[in-house]
Amino acid sequence: MPHINAAAALQLCVLLSALPAQYFISQWYGTDSAQRIQITERLIIASWSRFTKSYLSLDAWADRLKLWLSKTRTCLNVGLLILHFRNWYYGEKKTKIGDNEAETHSYFAESSHVRSPKPDYIQFSVGQVIVHKRFGYSGVIVGWDVKAKAPEEWLQHKYPPAKQDLKDTPHYRILINKANGFGKSTAYIPEEEITIIMGLEVVHHPDLEAYFSGYDGSKYIMQPWLKKIYPHD
């Protein structure tokens, strides 16, 4: 079948419209003024009727709304699929505890498990601004684990045999300040690699408002959902 480009399609439409146009012209000029007035009135009435049915009809707008809602539901379904894939990719799973209990575990301090009571050896809190001792970037703490919780392959790559003991120390999830130009947006690092900065409010990160509602002069204020997970921070 030959390929029809836009120019050829336009020419075809012009040719197809020529016949009805010729017929209309012949009908128009072959009538007297009274008939032409009647034809004009009928055209105006027909055009108005089509306009009212398309734009002034509740049924037409209801159909448009149904179409929009169907498209919105499709987008929401796609979003949910992406969210489920993300949870699976980062290792969220349910593990049996006893016979009837189950707890949701996530890697990289993303678990919704409530951190209470808070162990005394956890030095830092969610909302505090930190700086990495070795790499020099700043950021804000958005979560912590009492020890590293990550896929085994990640832990083996992160901690060679000489640093295996770091896996059992507290780890913090950090939103990295984009102003540093570090290249990464988040980090999951052990406690010994960070130190707290006081009085530094400005941390630029696209997800900052999802975790915090403001800054109180010493740390960022957690959103209610995050405060429920870290009630003692």
Q: What is the pLDDT of residues 160-209, one digit of tens each?
A: 998 999 999 999 999 999 988 888 899 999 999 999 988 766 899 999 99
User: Which residue bears the tokens 């037409």?
Assistant: 60
Six token digits for residue 62: 């209801």
Residue 135 placed within a domain: yes
The answer as to whether 209 is a domain residue is yes
Q: Reply yes or no on whether the pLDDT at 67 is more than 90.
A: no
Q: Residue 89 above 60 pLDDT?
A: no
Asked whether residue 85 is domain-assigned, the answer is no
Q: Please say whether the beta carbons of 228 and 112 come within 8 A.
A: no
Instruction: Assess if residue 32 is contained within a domain.
Output: no
| pLDDT > 90 in the chain, percent | 46
106: pLDDT confidence band, cut at 50, 70 and 90? confident
- State mean pLDDT over 37-62: 67
Look at residue 59 and tell me if it is in a domain: no
For residue 139, give the CATH number of its domain: 2.30.30.390
Q: Quick check: pTM over 0.85?
A: no
Residue 218 within a domain: yes
158 in a structural domain: yes
Full residue range of the structural domain in which residue 189 is found = 101-229
Domain assignment of residue 152, yes or no: yes
Q: Which residue has the higher pLDDT, 115 or 96?
A: 115
Contact 194, 131 (CB under 8 A): yes
Tally of domains within the chain:
1
> Tokens in use for 57?
């009809």
